[in-house]
Structure 1
Amino acid sequence: MSALTPTLLIIHGAWHVPQSYEKLIVAFEARGYEVHCPRLPSTNQSRPPNADLYTDSKLVRSYASSLVRAGRTVVAIMHSYGGQVGSDALVGLGLESRAAQGLPGGVSHLVYLAAFALSEGISMMDIVKEFNHMDLIPLAFNFAEDDTCVSNDPKTLLVGPSTLDEEEVNRYLSTLVRWNGKGMYLPIKHAAWREIPVAYIHCTADMTVPFEYQKSFVEGMEKNGRPVQSFELATGHCPNLTATEGVVEAVNSFIKRYS
């Protein structure tokens, strides 16, 4: 990769931690990328929880700001709930808007990876209600009294179908942690996709953020005037594990197209 190669910022999903993305990080680094994946405070496992969507957004904004102030061109790769965090956090940090102010660096692209890409004032649970799937929530997630939660069946609902050996899948599952489920109910305040070029990587066998949800997110952005370059992977909710090379190729393609 050249000196102009962008820095990648992975914004992880619910229940995940940076270790969950080790396979993807290694694959990107093998292609010459510098990769960052800060741990979101909502996964700190505090009981009762002391961090939520807005805490996560503040952390990611601070982290991304430090990169762009150093002159870095950043591509944000947002997985699942990370789409809410990145959308909320990265507004105003776009490469184009910073250049217009004579400032160096900026976020050049947003890549939503089976992620929530919503408008201001909308929460993840609003989408579940829109699709009349509220009855599935207790089947999918186990909420404690303090609102922290885990997936009831992460092997099926998160990893999904794969050709990976059981040892690799179990090693991945061991990285998952309890998360502050209030993040499902809190609306984002900003939508960075309105000002930064977007790609969406669909996971067609996803049982946590169904394909129909994913398509509705793209339709919503396009109706609001944001073109979206879409890719499809025939995998479940965690392509960082099950379709790693497909994710890398999609990101490479998007970056090359707009470079």
Structure 2
Amino acid sequence: MSQKPSIVIIPGSFTGPDIYSNFASLLRGRGYEVIVGILQSANRTRPEKAATLQEDAAYFRGVAETLASQGKDVVVVGHSYGGVVATESVKGVIKTEREAHGKAGGVVRVVYLVSVVADIGQGNFEAFGGQLGPFIRILQSWVDIPFPKGEFMHIDPEAGAPSLYSDLPENEALEWARLSKIQSTASFLDPVTFAAVDYVPVTYIHTSTDRIIPLENQKGFVAKLKSRNAKNVSTITINADHYPIVTAPEETAKGIIDAIEGN
């Protein structure tokens, strides 16, 4: 690719785009166009209807299609739950598919940044082992009830901070955890209908100190990808926790650039 591709970043669950701002600036400083999108499933609250995985995917598919329609190559980066969205959102926007119809531009790579990887027919919850983090609470009329009955979920910052931002001092980790958004329950249950790895190269970026998706589980997701199409799968490992865009932004930016440039 002679011209640098545009990078579309899909945030993790419970996470707004602002957390990715400084990290995105690092990539822009290296000459990349970067769009940090908004998870629809983390952008609503009662009385609005909780968004589904398909609504998240449709939003980010639209972002990728807009870039592709300008003849641009696109790299989609999905963080945590965002990896499930990435898998589904690139359906119909793969560059080779577009070229077959005489169109320029399209998705040329998916980067799974310590992501959940779901098989066709699986949702985030099932792919994650059928369990939630112990710091996730379910809301129904703002009263905690068992999953999956409530429409929305939230994070208990005090309980979640030590795992989500485990590389930070306790007080800093808590500040970041308090920025967590309300998340749709349905988004964790909806199954994916597409396997991106069958059609486009993918890179999985491991984070070695992650307490949310331990390294062993991350490797399990990579094995799942390789079982479908090993030649399309590469990996990179960085020494970071579950939010490397906050705790190790330089290393994470380098990992993504290495994935794109094939270093």
TM more than 0.5 = yes
The CA deviation string for residues 200-259 of structure 1, in whole angstroms up to 9 with x for no partner, is: 00112222222222111110111112432111122211011111111111111122128x
Equivalent residue for 1:157? Answer: 163
Alignment RMSD, CA only?
2.1
Report the secondary structure of 1:144's partner residue.
strand
Kept after mapping to 2: 8 A contact 1:19/1:175? no
TM-score (normalizing by structure 1): 0.89
Report the secondary structure of 1:57's partner residue.
helix
The 1:175–1:110 alpha-carbon spacing in structure 2 relative to 1, beyond 3 Å, is: same
Once the two structures are superposed, the pairs formed by residues 199-238 of structure 1 within 5 Å of their partners are: 199-226=203-230, 227-238=232-243
Residue 123 of structure 1 aligns to which amino acid in structure 2? Answer: G
State the 1:96 CA deviation: 2.1
The CA deviation string for residues 17-42 of structure 1, in whole angstroms up to 9 with x for no partner, is: 11010121111111111110121111
State the 1:111 CA deviation: 0.3
The 1:26–1:172 alpha-carbon spacing in structure 2 relative to 1, beyond 3 Å, is: farther
Residue 159 of structure 1 aligns to which amino acid in structure 2? Answer: Y
Kept after mapping to 1: 8 A contact 2:125/2:188? yes
The 1:249–1:68 alpha-carbon spacing in structure 2 relative to 1, beyond 3 Å, is: same
The CA deviation string for residues 70-106 of structure 1, in whole angstroms up to 9 with x for no partner, is: 1111111110111111101112211222223321101
State the 1:68 CA deviation: 0.4
Equivalent residue for 2:143? Answer: none
The CA deviation string for residues 45-72 of structure 1, in whole angstroms up to 9 with x for no partner, is: 3215431211111111111111101111
Matched, 1:247 2:252: yes
User: In 2, Cα distance between the equivalents of 1:3 and 1:219?
Assistant: 31
Once the two structures are superposed, the pairs formed by residues 93-108 of structure 1 within 5 Å of their partners are: 93-108=93-108
Between Structure 1 and Structure 2, how many residues are aligned? 250
Equivalent residue for 2:126? Answer: 126
Matched, 1:140 2:144: no
Equivalent residue for 1:71? Answer: 71
Identity of aligned residues (%): 26
Report the secondary structure of 2:216's partner residue.
helix
Report the secondary structure of 1:221's partner residue.
helix
Kept after mapping to 2: 8 A contact 1:87/1:190? yes
Equivalent residue for 1:32? Answer: 31
**Relative contact order, CA 8 A, sep 6+: which one is greater?**
1
Structure 1: runs of 5 or more not aligned: none
Structure 2: runs of 5 or more not aligned: 141-149
User: In 2, Cα distance between the equivalents of 1:24 and 1:3?
Assistant: 24
TM-score (normalizing by structure 2): 0.87
